[in-house]
Amino acid sequence: MSLKTLPLGIIGTVLAAAGLIAYSLRPELLWAVTLAEGLALMCLIAFFVLHFEAVKAFSGRRSTKMGVNTVLMVVLFSAILVIVNFLASRHSIRWDLSENQNFTLAPQTHRVLRTLPHDVKITVFTREKDPGYQAYKERLESYRQASTKLTVEFIDPEKQPKLAQTYGIFRTDTAIFESHGQTIRVTSPSEVELTGALIRISKDTKKRIVFVEGHSERSLEDKERNGLSIAKEALTKQGYDVGTVSLLTETAVPANTSVLVLAGPRRPVTQEEQDRIYDYVEKGGRLLVLVDPDTQTGLEALLTRWGLGLGPGVLVDLQDRLAQGDLTALLVRTFTEHEITQDLTSAVLFPLSRHVTFDEQTGKDWDYVPLARTSPNSWAETNMQGRVVSLNEKEDIKGPLPMAAALAPKNAPEEGKPRPAVVVVGNSTFATNAFFNFPGNSDFFLHTAGWLAEERDLITIAPKEPALRPFTPNPIQERTLLYVQVIFLPLVTFLTGMMVWRKRRRL
């Protein structure tokens, strides 16, 4: 018996039908279904190859073209396409041809996906026209293929506003991770953010972030413009346990504190409280200090122990500021390479800020990194009377100047002991309800909290090119665009038209 005498077409059709029936009845036997469909595909392809001339002659007859036999050929071709698509959907192969391997997951991510203890549902609120849509779609498809415990759903918040409101979505390109009763949100499609969210949501315990109170600090419960209720809600949705403490009544910072926050104190912090904060940091604690200009907090004595200081005056920037806004409304876009800032794609709005200083001699054991700086066309204004602002070379301090800095010990601590860290920001208004929803502000605040809480522990993942490169013009760029778009381009168009008109008249 030769291969041609075998009824390959019938065998292939039967195997294909058997595979589909088996998959509908027992989907868990995927290996058997795949085997049946693979054999069916081979039989059908072999049938067409071995009987190509007969098939060609058969299909060329007038009766065949006009009759029901044509339907048989369509069914056979359709069966091949169905089988190929079935196998491709279950065993797809992807090649990453991008220049920087943008769609290849890091080994750390694969380890996290392999060890997920629970199923995770990821809901991405975005629109097809949004800049992050394609990045989310392609990257999460790589995640989904690497783990069967992930389910991904894309929702257009404009088409389903009630669902978006239920999740508290106030900006598009936001991903919600849900698992085992926990919810975490991510606003960046970067691998660091997505994998970090998987790590946090797979943990049974929550890191605790504690805000110091008792010095007229900004309140976590205040829902007005100057409150921190939105920041508290964002931290809670990130999987943190948020609370408060009064060091006037406590003899020490609570032992379960992952991050201690001083959010814009308006009254002096006593020496006893500063000693308790210092002891907390020296034992491996992590501290976030937000201090506004023109406030008498007395924190200089505490910060000096680590070589840090708070500069005088108010920062003024003629270049990096909010267009058509006050000179002190800084729109900061100059960041130093650091774990906190590596995924920032939007400018951060710092209204009314002061700068941070560092003494290398006092802080010789600490690694100092200025996170954000003003432009070279800036200075610290020491005299704001009458709102007539100009650089005074004798009294003012010329920029660029850092308004946020991170501090960590140069030498690693002994094995088993935590590593302390301090972040100082010369502004607390950026985190208030009035400004928190500004994209760069929320990202900077949450990145800072994540670094201090040691939740961004996949920083070793090499950052990929950001999917979003927003352009926020400063005043000089804004005027340039105005002149080019409103004056230059229309003038060029008009002159070109006149030249064409004159030449046509001469014809």
What pLDDT does 292 receive?
93
d(CA 212, CA 227): 14
pLDDT of residue 463: 45
Q: Span 421-442, mean pLDDT? A: 92
- What amino acid is encoded at 298 in this protein? G
- Could you tell me what percent of the chain has a pLDDT over 90? 33
Q: What are phi and psi of 215, to 5 degrees?
A: -135, 35
Considering only CA atoms, give the Rg of the chain.
Answer: 31
What's the chain's average pLDDT? 83
Q: Provide mean pLDDT across the span 410-431.
A: 90
Distance from C-alpha of 176 to C-alpha of 117, rounded to nearest angstrom: 18
Q: Cβ-count burial of 408 within 10 angstroms (0-12 exposed, 13-18 middle, 19+ buried)?
A: middle
- Closest Cα partner for 233 from 431, 455, 447, 428? 431
1 falls in which pLDDT band (50, 70, 90)? very low
Residue 125 vs residues 166, 168, 268, 374: alpha-carbon distances, Å: 12, 11, 44, 34
Per-residue pLDDT tens digits for 330-370: 888 889 888 888 777 788 999 889 999 999 999 899 999 99
90 pLDDT tier (thresholds 50, 70, 90): low
SS3 call for 165: helix
- Given this model, what pLDDT does residue 4 score? 54
pLDDT at 154 over 90: yes
Query: Cα separation of 13 and 414, whole Å?
Result: 68
Alpha-carbon distance 504 to 507, whole Å? Answer: 5
More confident position, 439 or 101: 439
Confidence (pTM):
0.63
Q: In terms of pLDDT, which residue wins out, 409 or 7?
A: 409
pLDDT at 465: 46
Tell me the CA distances in angstroms from 326 to 316, 373, 384, one per residue in order.
Answer: 9, 18, 12
Q: Is the pLDDT of residue 204 over 80?
A: no
What average pLDDT does range 7-21 have in this prediction?
79
Summarize the chain as % helix, strand, coil (round to 5). Answer: 40, 20, 45
As a whole number, mean pLDDT of residues 448-477 equals 62
